[in-house]
Amino acid sequence: MFTLLVSVCINYVCGLLCGKKEAKHKRIVLSIGIALNVLILFFYKYLGFFVKILSIIFSFQNPQIKVLLPIGISFYTFQGMSYLIDVYRTPEIKQKNFCYLLLYIMFFPQLIAGPIVRYSDINKQFYNRDITLDKFIYGLERFIIGLSKKVLIANVLSEVSSYIFGLNYAKYTCFYAWIASVSYALQIYYDFSGYSDMAIGLGSMFGFTFEENFDYPYIASSFKEFWRRWHISLSSWFRDYVYIPLGGNRKGKSRTIFNVLFVFFLTGLWHGASWNFVLWGIINGVLVVLCDISGSKKRENKIHNKLFSIVVCLIKHVLTLVGIIVLWLLFDRSNVFLQVVLKMFGINFTSLGIFIQPYQKFVNTPLLKELLSIEFWLSFCFGIFFCFPWKRKLQFIILQDERVKIVCECTKYLILFVLLFFSVLSVANGAFNPFIYFRF
């Protein structure tokens, strides 16, 4: 709490100074404000990692610095910096009321795991917002959906993926490797998007409107599209405050490639002070650059055969999805990354070397039999099903007929009640299972 209050005070004072139109040293004040925000984030999140690197370079014993990481520090630090940059660009939106700035940065629904709310998007809502029954009901619906995503899908899938990843490499098959990997990909999506839904829902109950943070990312046909759909608030933050100020795509191909890779390097580092996060970010950046290059070539050679283009599109979807699933293992399962990926593609290794083993004896353990229950398969299938925008298509059909609309509305509220009942039941019976993004 102390760190959060210090961060708010720094941003408040620097914001007042940046907001003076006649100020001659606004750029210096902005630089100082951003530097102080980064320094706080560096101390808590990256100091130990930096000292470890220095100990390797200069060959001294790593002192093992351990600092408790404040929950959500990456989110509220970025919100503070966005406030300063927005005020620097548009001085008239500076916040003179300390309590309002405190509310912006400390607003509890999105404080600890996003979405990252821009000050320029929300500042007018402090003074003029409508708290209506419709917004409250919408917010309640989003909250129930988010809670259901977390406890009925993400939590159930996490049990299986964590158990399989914790097994000895030789104890599970190619089938189990895919089950665990796909489960983890679904888990991290429903865990994070579930929290975002809950934050958006709670915000709506209080009369605030937050931007969406996810747009069905697993239907993407390229990594570039994936990053337009995944964690939108973070992607747009880096685009507007880092990528575009660096020159974006306006300074030639080489500079554009550098800008993209640098942004994704920062994206990886933002997620955690570890080499696996850095590598994960850089690989994503390389894949986005390759998508740009292949996209420009494709515009030059348009495919006229419709069937062939459908097949190509399907292949792109599958390859992108497989790449995403594999990279999620590097993201947060780096200790078993190589073993699991090799196992997924039927490659096994022993003391005698590496060999292809696509078909293995179906191995099972008593606990795994118990985990792969009807509950798991329901969560797994529903998780895959709701990765697609069926809701939008259904809403379009419903709007065509008023009678169908009334029936569907009643059905919707019945389903929401059932989801809430089972979610509360699951929370009451389950162990503490925090959101994945709490630690970022």
- Is the CB of residue 96 less than 8 Å from the CB of residue 16? yes
Phi, psi of 97 (to 5 degrees): -85, 115
Residue corresponding to tokens 């994070």 = 192
- Is the CB of residue 283 less than 8 Å from the CB of residue 337? no
Q: At a CB cut-off of 8 Å and minimum separation 6, what does 313 contact?
A: 221
DSSP letter at 336?
G
Q: What angle do CA 120, 126, 132 make, to 5 degrees?
A: 115
Burial of 23 per CB tally in 10 Å (0-12, 13-18, 19+): middle
| Cα–Cα distance for residue pair 303/295, rounded to 1 Å | 12
Three-state secondary structure call for residue 90: coil
Among the listed residues 241, 7, 238, the one whose alpha carbon sits nearest the alpha carbon of residue 106: 7
Q: What number of other Cβ atoms are within 10 A of residue 221's Cβ? A: 18
304 in active site: no
Q: At a CB cut-off of 8 Å and minimum separation 6, what does 314 contact?
A: none
- Is the CB of residue 354 less than 8 Å from the CB of residue 339? no
Q: At a CB cut-off of 8 Å and minimum separation 6, what does 271 contact?
A: 74, 277, 280, 281, 331, 440
Q: At a CB cut-off of 8 Å and minimum separation 6, what does 288 contact?
A: 223, 224, 227, 260, 264
Q: Which residues pair with 353 in a beta bridge?
A: 350
Catalytic annotation, pick one of 25, 231, 271, 317: 271
DSSP letter at 69?
P
Give me the active site residues, please.
271
